[in-house]
Amino acid sequence: MRGKAPLARVYDTADLLGTGDQPVRLAIRRMQAAGELTQIGRGRSGTLELTDTGRERIDRDRSALALAFKQDAEKEPWDGSWNLYAIGAPERERAARDSLRRTLLASGAASLATGTFLSPHDLRPLLDPAMGRYVISATARDLNIRGVTDPRTIAEELWPAEPIDSAYDVIATAIRQDDPTAHADVRRILLADALESALRDDPLIPLDLRRSPWRPTMLRRTWLACWNDIAPSAAYSAWDTVTAPAG
């Protein structure tokens, strides 16, 4: 069932990875403290179940994956519009302001000035509707940032390519070390961990705004081919809808 996992399977899978029970228990406690899951029952007979917060996180991760793979398949071209966001929360609503700021930055927006953010993507669907009254948004096709007007140059200044490119070294390593004879769960977890690490700080700037060839795209394509070569598995099954071969 989606969002549930028997603890026995969690511990068995961790054992395949060479991870003992204690680190798993600590990880579960951290996720419980973050409000992402609940534990029903004790020991190996128990079950882990995602909370609404946990499901929202999974859905956000899956949306980012879908965008990345659409870009890699050249199915998500840039429409030429920049999206600007200004946060207008008063000082007494600092919590709302900080929450919006975290969401925008986590979604890949760049800070232009205090309370003002820019992205080549429409990020409004990712913002809490209850906080909409604090956000002013606009789109622009002509942008001048401190004298810079070329879109690719703007992208490089606000989202430098080098650190994003370097973050994908972990995927190159995971692909190189992937063992076709290993258990499917192990292969999936190691590859997924590498991709999650690389994507963590990748704003997924449209390929129109990056140099070509763009190494992260090349590595993600290789990663996807490797992933789809693995037998079906319960591990990261939530990703299956966005990693399935096209057609």
Residue 94 phi, psi dihedral angles, 5° rounding? -60, -40
**Structure token pair of residue 218:** 């090349």
Task: Specify the CATH number of the domain 82-140.
Answer: 3.30.70
Question: What are the Cα distances from residue 135, in Å, to 112, 120, 125?
Answer: 15, 17, 12
Task: Report the pLDDT value the prediction gives residue 167, as an integer from 0 to 100.
Answer: 98
3-class DSSP state for residue 235? coil
Which residues, at least 6 apart from 47, have a Cβ–Cβ distance to it below 8 Å?
Answer: 4, 5, 6, 7, 39, 40, 41
Task: Report the pLDDT value the prediction gives residue 2, as an integer from 0 to 100.
Answer: 65
C-alpha 61/C-alpha 66 separation (Å) is 9
Task: Report the pLDDT value the prediction gives residue 39, as an integer from 0 to 100.
Answer: 92
Domain boundaries of the chain, sorted by first residue:
4-50, 82-140, 160-243
Q: What is the mean pLDDT of each run of 10 residues along the chain (247 residues)?
A: 82 91 93 92 89 87 91 95 94 88 94 95 89 92 96 98 98 97 94 95 96 96 95 82 70
Task: Report the pLDDT value the prediction gives residue 104, as an integer from 0 to 100.
Answer: 95
3-class DSSP state for residue 131? helix
C-beta of residue 121 within 8 angstroms of C-beta of residue 83: yes
Task: Report the pLDDT value the prediction gives residue 238, as an integer from 0 to 100.
Answer: 77
Task: Report the pLDDT value the prediction gives residue 112, as an integer from 0 to 100.
Answer: 95
Residue 38 phi, psi dihedral angles, 5° rounding? -125, 155
pTM of the predicted protein model: 0.87
- The one-letter code for the residue type at 32 is Q
